[in-house]
Structure 1
Amino acid sequence: MEERPNNDTTISTDEINVLLGKLKFSEEESVQIMSTNDGKNVKGFESWAVGKIMATEHPNREAMYRVFKSLWYTKEEVDFVALKEGAVIVKFGCLEDRSRILKLMPWLFDKCLFSMVPFVKGKNIASYEFGLSPFWLRVYNIPIELMDRQLVVAVGNAIGELVAIDWKDRNGAWTEFMRLKVKIDISKPLRRIVKLVSRYGGETIEVIKYERLPDFCYMCGLIGHTFKNCKDNREGAGINDSNAQYGSWMRAPFVNPNQERNMRRNGVEIVKTTITANEDKEESQTNSRDESGQSAQKGNEKEVKKARYRHHLWKKEVISLYMTAWDGLSIRGSA
């Protein structure tokens, strides 16, 4: 008797290729169909992204789609297409929408991280990497006299991949903490501290706090699950303030929209873009300074100011809405 599967099963690309290698095609099946798509439609795949909920327990997808659509305020319609293994194609209507939303990551729903990357034509969905996600961090306990750009670049790259620097805290300068955006590997435990050694040999330990941190485990430090679902949680083991290596103290204090506006005063530098684009230019400017004084330095400062201002334009548009909606995400998600 012919066996039939009890349930529908998904099949991977590799399994399909193995299957096709065994088949002999008929004459009708061998007829080729020519695609007339020239691939130049900018409202097609070029503006898409691929996302995934990075959690062991997935929230309601339809509710997540509704919340993100209302929260993002895209210029054009955005659609979500669910795929296997929890992946989702996010079909933005234009490149500008996708760029803005990706720059505002991380995005959370129901305390779960929704990681996104740009869609790549011809790339297998299973080969996308969602393990790197940007977060705004605050680094506390750094001596004020040591707070400079060289140090923040070194600290950021020690934690992960430095993306941006916020040059001002609530008092108008770096005094309480350094604020930077870093792309971190969420497959590894969250970094808690940074050790800093001065030129004289003195060591200080800096504490890291994360803004808009999703659910994470207080036992292993990984994002995506809590202590009760941790594989390291042996039966009968308990966790408390005396033995917890991670905890709520790693979350940066939440601020309301008015406080947020006071804390951010056009002080953001997009480090990843600036360094990559101007790497060769900075070297030539250094040589130019030796010959012509401060002219090259002024030109570089002008470019930095332009980059900060461009960043401020799109950030100002959505930051108030994003912060206001933050408290209501869980409530709306369960609706």
Structure 2
Amino acid sequence: MAIARVHTDKPYSQYWFYKTMRVAWDLAQEVKIRPLEDNLYTLQFSCLGDWERVMEEGPWNFKGKAVVLAPYDGFTKPSLAELKKIEIWVQIHDLPDGFFSKIKALPAMVGEFIFAEPKSQDFEGNFARVRVRIDVTKPLKNSVSLVVKKKDGIHREIFRVKYERLPDWCSVCGNLGHLLKECGDGVRPASALVFKDLRASW
């Protein structure tokens, strides 16, 4: 079993949530989705393969909003389940190969490190891929940094961060769950768009 909610304060159709997620997950067997209250559901899978696909191959989104999932034992009060973290692939751009040994420390600024994709000969792209667990209630990070000792002193190297399959986010405050035009009065100068271009191709 799993427990789920959509990271949004807006009302939405439960019918379309069920229909959309069943299509997106493309499961081998039927999943039973039971609403507990507004925007809180239990999911009961019929096989381990389906459960692993849903829990490990996200992030999933419904109409652009993150679907937050957590394992559920069926005995804990559903209201006590912590539903604020999603797993996502992060790209750290322009990272020199010599710094790859530091790859575990770099994503700690973004979220909780899960694992890094090893470098291989057939990989194309000037970035390292890391799987992290991020808190959807906190602003996204648009860069990570590393303190490097060089001949002329100590320098801080900054590396751009992009997210694969990123749900809707605000380029002003960096939070998931709403867009730029829904943040404040929606009228912002270009200089305020600190968190733009965070979505990576994948």
TM-score (norm 1): 0.55
**1:273-292 equivalences in 2 (<5 Å):** none
Equivalent position SS for 1:50: strand
2:108 aligned to 136, 157, 160, which one?
157
Which residue type is aligned with residue 195 of structure 2?
Answer: Y
The answer to whether the Cα contact below 8 Å between 1:144 and 1:175 also exists between their aligned partners in 2 is no
Which residue type is aligned with residue 110 of structure 1?
Answer: K
Q: Following TM superposition, by how much is the alpha carbon of 1:172 offset from its aligned partner in structure 2, in angstroms? A: 2.6
Q: Distance in 1 between matches of 2:155 and 2:192?
A: 29
Task: Output one character per residue of 1:224-266: Cα deviation in whole Å (capped at 9) or x when no partner.
Answer: 1123333xx1x5x62132221222x11102x5xxxxxxxxxxx
Larger radius of gyration: 1
Quick check: 1:211 aligned with 2:164? yes
Quick check: 1:224 aligned with 2:177? yes
Greater share of residues in helix: 1
Which residue type is aligned with residue 80 of structure 2?
Answer: S
Which residue type is aligned with residue 111 of structure 2?
Answer: G
Which residue of 2 is the match for residue 77 of structure 1? 30
Q: Structure 1 62/85 Cα, relative in aligned 2: closer, same or farther at 3 Å?
A: closer
Q: Distance in 2 between matches of 1:219 and 1:175?
A: 28
Aligned residues: 199
Which residue of 1 is the match for residue 87 of structure 2? 134
Which residue type is aligned with residue 160 of structure 2?
Answer: V
Q: Following TM superposition, by how much is the alpha carbon of 1:105 offset from its aligned partner in structure 2, in angstroms? A: 1.5
CA RMSD of aligned residues (A): 2.0
Quick check: 1:197 aligned with 2:150? no
Q: Distance in 2 between matches of 1:183 and 1:226?
A: 22
**1:258-277 equivalences in 2 (<5 Å):** none
Q: Distance in 2 between matches of 1:228 and 1:73?
A: 33
Equivalent position SS for 2:104: helix
Task: Output one character per residue of 1:114-151: Cα deviation in whole Å (capped at 9) or x when no partner.
Answer: 111111232111111111111111011222332x2x31
The answer to whether the Cα contact below 8 Å between 1:138 and 1:208 also exists between their aligned partners in 2 is yes
Quick check: 1:185 aligned with 2:135? yes
The answer to whether the Cα contact below 8 Å between 2:33 and 2:42 also exists between their aligned partners in 1 is yes
Which residue of 2 is the match for residue 244 of structure 1? 193
Q: Distance in 2 between matches of 1:104 and 1:110?
A: 18
Task: Output one character per residue of 1:190-232: Cα deviation in whole Å (capped at 9) or x when no partner.
Answer: 01111111133222110100111111112211101123333xx
Equivalent position SS for 1:71: helix
Equivalent position SS for 1:239: coil
Q: Distance in 2 between matches of 1:49 and 1:160?
A: 22
Q: Following TM superposition, by how much is the alpha carbon of 1:59 offset from its aligned partner in structure 2, in angstroms? A: 3.6
Which residue of 1 is the match for residue 118 of structure 2? 167
In percent, how many aligned pairs have the same letter? Answer: 26
Equivalent position SS for 1:198: strand
Q: Following TM superposition, by how much is the alpha carbon of 1:104 offset from its aligned partner in structure 2, in angstroms? A: 0.6
Greater share of residues in strand: 2
The answer to whether the Cα contact below 8 Å between 2:92 and 2:159 also exists between their aligned partners in 1 is yes
Task: Output one character per residue of 1:267-323: Cα deviation in whole Å (capped at 9) or x when no partner.
Answer: xxxxxxxxxxxxxxxxxxxxxxxxxxxxxxxxxxxxxxxxxxxxxxxxxxxxxxxxx
